[in-house]
Amino acid sequence: MRSKKDLIKYICIVKKEKKRIWIYVALVIALCPISNAQLSFCPGDTGDAIFFEDFGFGTTNGPALPAGFTTYTYVDQAPQDGFYTISNNLSQLQSWHNGLDHTPNDTDGKAFIVNASFTADEFFRSTISGLCENTFYEFSAWLINLYDSDFTNCPSGGIPVNVRFEIWNETDTLLLASGDTGDINGTPEPIWNDYGLVFETTVGQETVLLKMINNGDGGCGNDLAIDDIAFRACGDTTTITTSDNEQGVLICESQTPTGISLVSVTDFDINDSYEIQWQTSTDLLDWFDIPGATSSTYDIVSITETTYYRVNFATDTGNLGSPFCSFLSEPFLVEVSPVPEPPISNGDKSICSDEPLPQLSVTVQQGESVNWYNAPSGGVLLATNTTSYTPDVPGTYYAEATVNGIECNSPNRTGVSLSIFPAITFDAASEQLVICEGQSVTLTASIANAFYAWSTGETSQNITITTPGNYTIVATSAEGCTAQKTFTVSTIIIPEIVPIEANIGREITVQTINTGNFEYSSNGIFYQESPTFTNLPGGIITLFARNIEGCIPSSTTFYNVRVPTYFTPNGDGINDVFTIPDLSFFETSTLKVFDRFGKLLHTDSGSSMDWDGMYNGNILLVDDYWYTLTLDDIQLTGHVSLLLQ
């Protein structure tokens, strides 16, 4: 297939006075030599379709083509070799593609479905009328190989489709153009391909004959569908620019009315000259001729709304405006953009001073961008082409909408504010506290003049708790800044002392039911780590135990039995009496003293008992004397020495 570049190369080498003759020769050589036919499309602009066949739509097969259109036989079911149908269902046979026709945006669109004959032959013919003389035309058609190569019905992937397109004069005596598709093999997915030919009508010629011929062998795989057959006038490429070589113009409504100079440029690859008519439209649907606008340039005196311009051109004046004989440039857009509305704020922002700076943002229409300023008018430009802006200090910032590509700004700017409030903080994020069992502690939020929310549900600045656990306080300032602190409260274990009724001996150990970091004391003032005490005095004793972290100590009171081993009743006031101190601890107490021969010398009872060494009014001799001491259910025996020195 020859490209437009190839055509230009042919054209550029001919002499100017013979240009039209040699262009035709070049097209014939490039596009349709009989011995080696080539397919091609119009290298320039085309007109509206003067013929279009899409084979209709519907959910049932048919109807058959009119007489003379094909030598194949119509069936309203899956066609066999040499038969055809018209259907919206390509998958007439199991091994054919399950797909849609080619026509865009139609519902239940149909296609011409052909099962090729076993011999090469013509399978479609149509007469095309209404053409203009001395005019180039483009024929095009869409074709698909129906065989799904994922199937293995056909050996070696199936016989490829190969179709020849021919354009003849109305008497079927002069071949104007032809081309072969070449082999089109089956594919795993349905693929429509476009094929075309370019030809020129002769003097007085208004009708041509289209033929489609099966080049391939019949049999498994040579099955095809045709759709969207079209004929269009073919001309040179014409482009429209401004005098400043712009491909389109965008202006602001506030800049109208204004004037613009348009220039149409034709490459003249096919014809030497054209008649021109400028046209205008506001919707790309309805086009109107501009009176007197028939030269290659057109000056728009005043424009106030979005408008499209194009050039309708033909080889002579009589063909201008005829969709069959004239050509159309691509539309040139002069877009008048409305003045943009001020941006819509997405909301003011407020943060606390310990939070990251937020983005201020606005919303504008599609095709618009935003510039940011520090003032409602004038001021310093802070950022361009962005709908968001991150300031570094509090204040109000102003967003101005602008149309992309032109100077077209909103009449007013939209203010968006950032407020930064002082952060509030606790002295520490967490605090460890301890309480004694059965006692309470007051937790205090050290931030004043705030709203408080404790994890307990309380809302006062201080709360009193009696149980261990984690307690969280969230303080919120009037501006909405928050701070959080967690108090972890644990309990100090108070020792539980095993009761002591009485102790006999010089050593005693304090025992506790529970365990902990305890320390011990015999006077409640000085404490030791060891629970064992020695050489405690006789009488009523109180021992103490407490947790080393504090709290009120526990205590136990008992009687420490310490019987003297001697006494000296010599009247010096020192240790003159054998005494057992403060026996009020016991309910009953009795003391009996004997000599070595078992003679009872002294008896006493009550809460205070002593013996002065006298018997019958006389002091006894220095000697050891025996005693029996009964304290409730405790009975002790021993001896005490009476000394006089």
Q: Which of 261, 348, 266, 259 is nearest to 301 (CA)?
A: 259
Same domain membership, residue 150 and residue 299 = no
Say whether both 164 and 279 belong to one domain. no
Please indicate whether residue 22 or residue 526 has the higher confidence score (pLDDT).
526
End of a domain among 337, 371, 399?
Answer: 337
Within-domain flag for 17: no
- pLDDT class for 36, splitting at 50, 70, 90? very low
CATH of the domain at 471: 2.60.40.10
Mean pLDDT of 96-123: 93
For residue 24, is it within any domain?
Answer: no
Q: How far apart are CA 402 and CA 644, in angstroms?
A: 124
SS3 255: helix
Same domain for 320 and 381, yes or no, is: no
Task: Please tell me the predicted confidence (pLDDT) of residue 425.
Answer: 93
243 has a pLDDT exceeding 80: yes
Look up residue 154 and give its DSSP letter. Answer: S
Phi, psi of 315 (to 5 degrees): -75, -20
- 99 in a domain, yes or no? yes
Domain count, the chain: 6
Q: What pLDDT was estimated at residue 364?
A: 96
Q: What share of the chain is helix, strand, coil (3-state, %, to 5)?
A: 5, 45, 50
Amino acid at 11: I
According to DSSP, the residues that pair with 381 across neighbouring strands are 373
Is-contact 185 169, C-beta < 8 A? Answer: no
Q: Do 294 and 416 share a structural domain?
A: no
Record the tokens describing residue 640, joined without a space: 């005490």
CA–CA distance, 356 with 346 (Å, rounded to integer): 18
Q: Is residue 226 part of a domain?
A: yes
> How confident is the model at residue 17, as a pLDDT?
31
Whether 8 is in a domain gets the answer: no
The string of pLDDT tens digits covering residues 263-283 is: 999 888 777 788 899 999 999
Residue 94: pLDDT band with limits 50, 70, 90: very high
**pLDDT on residue 326:** 84
Pair (537, 586) in one structural domain: no
- Angstrom distance (rounded) from CA 431 to CA 346: 41
Say whether both 196 and 297 belong to one domain: no
Q: CA 273, CA 31: separation in Å to the nearest integer?
A: 22
Same domain, 257 and 398: no
In a domain, 10, yes or no: no
Query: pLDDT digit string (tens) for 575-613?
Result: 999 998 888 888 899 999 999 999 999 999 988 889 999
Comparing C-alpha atoms, which of 596, 508, 507, 593 is closest to residue 556?
508
Same domain, 348 and 471: no
pLDDT over 60 at 189, yes or no: yes
Using one digit for the tens of pLDDT, what is the confidence trace for 504-523?
878 899 999 999 899 999 99
Q: What's the gap between Cα 563 and its chain centre?
A: 90
Residue 115 has pLDDT above 80, yes or no: yes
Answer yes or no: do 384 and 412 share one domain.
Answer: yes
Residue 384 lies in a domain: yes
Same domain, 541 and 567: no
- In tens, the pLDDT along 523-575 reads 999 999 999 999 898 889 999 999 988 888 999 999 888 888 999 999 888 99
The residue written with tokens 């997405």 in the block is 346
Beta bridge partners of 231: 51, 139
Q: Which tens digit of pLDDT belongs to each residue from 403-431?
A: 988 889 999 999 999 999 999 999 888 89
Local structure of 18: helix, strand or coil: helix
Which of 545, 560, 575 represents a domain boundary (last residue)? 560
- Is there a single domain that holds both residue 127 and residue 190? yes
Predicted pLDDT of residue 38 = 66
CA 145 – CA 523 distance, rounded (Å): 112
Residue 238 CA to residue 252 CA, distance in Å, equals 28
- Domain final residue, candidates 269, 304, 337: 337
Tell me how far apart the alpha carbons of residues 563 and 612 are, in angstroms, rounded to a whole number: 15
The stretch 610-627 carries a mean pLDDT of 93
Domain that holds residue 576: 563-642
Asked whether residue 246 falls in the same domain as residue 326, the answer is yes
Q: Is residue 243 part of a domain?
A: yes
Average pLDDT, the chain: 89
For residue 449 the two structure tokens come to 């003049």
